[in-house]
């Protein structure tokens, strides 16, 4: 199902892959206020939809937006709450790139009325579809698992020192999924890639808001280092590298589906 702002592809198994930072589009009325750097949307989670192009074949649901995170960040609290108190973060409607470059021309940053317009026009429709899809899955299967799929440059000094591990799994320190799923994730091996769980990235707004393990709705975020599938400058999709990391992403998706299947069997 497609709307103006996002696309949902229905699956046949209880796993939804959300790609909230995959979009690149910017409306003309917003483009006019942006810098050249901002218009290049450099902080996009590049090609996430290509990395998970096997999802439909495996039976997973997917949801992805049309518009860029520079329009509005779908993985931020609409009230503007910082998900990592005391640490650097970008706003609901970002005004600077990860490297602090200005996204908007001087004096043309979105004001409060514009932010509210974007919440209504872009943020709410995505989240309405996300919420409705999870509810549908839970009703249909008795369980729903959300994999919030992200990627980021391997080195971003604004957010973390040094180089990021390849696979960064987050469950809000275990709050967004059951203890059983948390234990199941500990058995996942991303080799030959490095991995960590609940390190610098513990899960953003989507993981924390939609993970409701008491309702048998579980959420996991994956922040994937872009060095695993981009070229050395991390500016272009590298098909060879991507094919290798997709093998591990498939294993992760299957690992989550195996958990869902086991839970379904135990409930019957």
Which residue from 230, 244, 257, 246 is spatially nearest to 42, judged by alpha carbons? 230
Q: Show pLDDT as tens, one digit a residue, over the chain (268 residues).
A: 556 899 999 999 999 999 999 999 999 999 999 999 999 999 999 999 999 999 999 999 999 999 999 999 999 999 877 776 656 678 999 999 999 999 999 999 999 999 999 999 999 999 999 999 999 999 999 999 999 999 999 888 888 888 999 999 999 999 999 999 999 999 999 999 999 999 989 999 999 999 999 999 999 999 999 999 998 665 799 999 999 999 999 999 999 999 999 887 555 4
Beta carbons within 8 Å of 152's beta carbon, 6+ residues apart: 45, 159, 164, 223, 224, 225, 226
Q: What is the pTM of this model?
A: 0.95
pLDDT in tens, 183-220: 999 999 999 999 999 998 999 999 999 999 999 999 99
DSSP H helices in 153-238: 179-186, 205-210
Sorted by where each starts, the structural domains of the chain and their CATH numbers stand as: 6-267 (3.40.630.40)
For position 235, what pLDDT does the model report? Answer: 74
């Amino acid at each position: 199902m497609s709307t103006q702002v996002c696309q949902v592809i229905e699956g046949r198994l209880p796993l939804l892959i959300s790609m909230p930072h995959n979009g690149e589009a910017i409306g003309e009325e917003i483009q006019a206020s942006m810098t050249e750097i901002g218009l290049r949307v450099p902080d996009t989670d590049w090609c996430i939809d290509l990395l998970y192009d096997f999802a439909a074949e495996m039976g997973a649901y997917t949801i992805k937006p049309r518009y860029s995170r520079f329009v509005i960040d779908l993985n931020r609290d609409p009230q503007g709450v910082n998900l990592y108190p005391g640490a650097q973060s970008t706003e609901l409607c970002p005004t600077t790139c990860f490297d602090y470059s200005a996204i908007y021309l001087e004096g043309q940053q979105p004001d409060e009325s514009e932010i509210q317009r974007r919440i209504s026009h872009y943020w709410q429709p995505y989240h309405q579809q996300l919420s409705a899809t999870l509810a549908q899955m839970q009703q249909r299967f008795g369980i729903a698992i959300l994999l919030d799929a992200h990627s980021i440059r391997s080195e971003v000094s604004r957010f973390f020192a040094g180089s990021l591990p390849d696979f960064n799994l987050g469950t809000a320190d275990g709050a967004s999924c059951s203890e059983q799923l948390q234990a199941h994730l500990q058995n996942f091996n991303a080799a030959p890639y490095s991995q960590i769980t609940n390190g610098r990235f513990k899960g953003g707004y989507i993981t924390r808001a939609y993970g409701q393990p008491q309702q048998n709705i579980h959420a996991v975020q994956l922040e994937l280092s872009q060095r695993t599938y981009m070229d050395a400058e991390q500016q272009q999709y590298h098909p060879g590298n991507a094919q290798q990391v997709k093998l591990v992403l498939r294993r992760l998706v299957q690992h989550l589906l195996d958990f869902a299947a086991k839970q379904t069997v135990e409930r019957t």
